[in-house]
Amino acid sequence: MMKVKLKLFATYREKVGQSELELSVPEGSTAGGVLARLVADYPALAGLAGATMFAVDQEFAAADAVLYDGQELALLPPVSGG
């Protein structure tokens, strides 16, 4: 197992009730795999998952990006700044 820091924003943060989670996930886990696990724990997130983008260590990443121990994964709903 390895540790990943999960950053949550906007709707994700509100529905989970936290802005950051420390997760233990199996070696070789992907960004999308972590999201799937979160949705399993919080079914209210299911409708959001399709439009979500990922960032690993503050850089955009694909759903199939493999994570490494100590990395920071962020779930990014569609942005709406400005």
Partner 1 sequence: MFEITDKPIAAADLEDLVITNADGAVVTFAGVVRGHSKGKKVLYLEYEAYKEMAEKKMAEIGEEIKARWPIDRIAIRHRVGYLEIGETAVAIAVSAPHRQEAFEACQYAIDRLKRFVPVWKKEVWEDGEVWVGREGG
The answer to the question of residue 50 lying near partner 1 (CB under 8 A) is: no
The answer to the question of residue 74 lying near partner 1 (CB under 8 A) is: yes
Question: Alpha-carbon distance 31 to 57, whole Å?
Answer: 12
The answer to the question of residue 21 lying near partner 1 (CB under 8 A) is: no
The answer to the question of residue 24 lying near partner 1 (CB under 8 A) is: no
Question: Quick one: CA dihedral 23, 25, 27, 30, positive or negative?
Answer: negative
Binding site for partner 1 (CB under 8 A): 7, 9-11, 13-14, 51, 55, 58-60, 74, 76-82
